[in-house]
């Protein structure tokens, strides 16, 4: 069995590696039989954390995950997310973190997943247009109704985590049990605030993009920046293939991995799990072969010398490309920084 850790105060114990399913289905592997095999093989290996979102594949991903789990629902901690619109539309009421949208979105997710409850229901991003009191009140009511067991956040800044904790305590609401931030050797910004805050408030941390969209597998090189089938080739709008700083870092990290007798991917995943605030790292394999390779990282532990060498390549708290942080605070908008918008 894979090592398990408590997910904050949720009462759930989850595996150190979780399965992120975003690239299963129309956003990646369209072979549904193989997708089902990937999910079931992950569970067989000891992974009990399965993460999806309503927006992945415009809802199709939740349907795929639900079908794969039809006879294994009780073996997993099932997580999904709300916030982004599902499908292409301009209706402002069908997105965000308002009570109105949460109440509709959770029923939609339950129907697509084919389950009677969601274990951890996560706000996919902050919503500066909706008071946190409203969001927490709606999620607290969903817990009371039995539609969700607990709720969490994704890519929230530390100050929002603190505010949410304070609001829940003041109003008698359900506190957040988890935060899902972007975290990798190339994206370390949360080390300065989000991770210490999570430890302080006993919030579980489930990290997305631990391989930085494939950069930390070593498959992207200066001579072949977008190999066929890679995230760089399928999602070029989200891939900074000309980032020389990343190429420099990946080349140095590959040397560290080789000296430690590890693949770059195993080094990156093991590094994530060494942080005491981290509960789990989400792997997102597109194929069965990728899954089998990534599972090998579950038992890897890094020495202090290796960790120190990694810090020399990418210093603590550094995010090589700020865009990888996944969310831009609204306070950085021009209208929020200037008393006047005069030319």
**How far, in Å, are 32, 179, 281 from residue 182 at the CA level?**
27, 10, 10
Instruction: Given the residues 56, 121, 183, 220, select the one marked as catalytic.
Output: 56
Non-local CB neighbours of 70 within 8 Å, separated by 6+ positions:
114
In 3D space, the residue among 88, 82, 49 whose CA is nearest the CA of residue 65 turns out to be 49
**How far, in Å, are 5, 329, 331, 335 from residue 340 at the CA level?**
50, 19, 15, 8
pLDDT in tens, the chain (343 residues): 799 999 999 999 999 999 999 999 999 999 999 999 999 999 999 999 999 999 999 999 999 999 999 999 999 999 999 999 998 898 999 999 999 999 999 999 999 999 999 999 999 999 999 999 999 999 999 999 999 999 999 999 999 999 999 999 999 999 999 999 999 999 999 999 999 999 999 999 999 999 999 999 988 888 777 766 666 666 665 568 788 999 999 999 999 999 999 999 999 999 999 999 999 999 999 999 999 999 999 999 999 999 999 999 999 999 999 999 999 888 888 888 888 766 6
Topology (CATH level 3) of domain 4-337: TIM Barrel (3.20.20)
* DSSP character at residue 330: G
Determine the angle formed by the axes of helices 158-171 and 194-201, rounding to 10 degrees.
20
Active site residue 56: yes
In 3D space, the residue among 150, 152, 65 whose CA is nearest the CA of residue 114 turns out to be 65
DSSP per-residue string spanning 56-86: GGGGHHHHHHHHHTTTTGGGSEEEEEE-S-S
What ranges do the domains of the chain cover?
Answer: 4-337
**How far, in Å, are 106, 110, 111 from residue 62 at the CA level?**
12, 9, 9
């Amino acid at each position: 069995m894979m090592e398990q850790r408590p997910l904050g105060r949720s009462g759930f114990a989850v595996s150190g590696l979780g399965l992120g399913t975003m690239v299963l289905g129309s956003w990646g592997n369209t072979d549904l039989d193989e997708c089902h095999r990937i999910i079931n093989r992950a569970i067989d290996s000891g992974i009990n954390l399965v993460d999806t979102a309503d927006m992945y594949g415009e809802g199709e991903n939740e349907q795929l995950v639900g079908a794969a789990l039809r006879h294994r629902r009780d073996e997993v901690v099932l997580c999904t997310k709300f916030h982004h619109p599902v499908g292409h539309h301009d209706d402002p009421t069908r997105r965000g973190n308002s009570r109105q949208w949460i109440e509709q979105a959770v029923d939609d997710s339950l129907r697509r997943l084919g389950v009677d409850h969601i274990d951890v229901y996560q706000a996919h991003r902050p919503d500066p247009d909706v008071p946190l009191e409203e969001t927490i009140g709606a999620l607290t009511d969903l817990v009371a109704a039995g539609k969700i067991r607990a709720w969490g956040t994704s890519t929230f800044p530390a100050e929002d985590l603190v505010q949410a904790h304070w609001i829940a305590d003041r109003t008698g609401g359900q506190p957040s049990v988890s935060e899902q931030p972007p975290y990798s050797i190339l994206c370390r910004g949360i080390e300065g605030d989000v991770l210490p805050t999570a430890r302080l408030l006993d919030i579980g941390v489930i990290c997305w993009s631990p391989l930085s969209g494939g950069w930390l597998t070593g498959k992207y090189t200066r001579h072949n920046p977008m190999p066929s089938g890679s995230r760089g080739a399928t999602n070029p709008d989200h891939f900074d293939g000309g980032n020389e700083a990343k190429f420099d870092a990946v080349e140095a990290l590959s040397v560290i991995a080789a000296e430690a007798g590890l693949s770059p991917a195993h080094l990156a995943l093991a590094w994530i799990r060494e942080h005491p605030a981290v509960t789990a790292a989400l792997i997102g394999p597109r194929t069965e072969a990728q899954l089998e390779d990534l599972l090998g990282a579950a038992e890897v532990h890094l020495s202090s010398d290796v960790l120190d060498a990694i810090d020399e390549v990418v210093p603590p708290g550094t995010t090589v490309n700020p865009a990888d942080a996944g969310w831009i605070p609204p306070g950085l908008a021009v209208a929020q920084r200037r008393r006047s918008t005069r030319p």
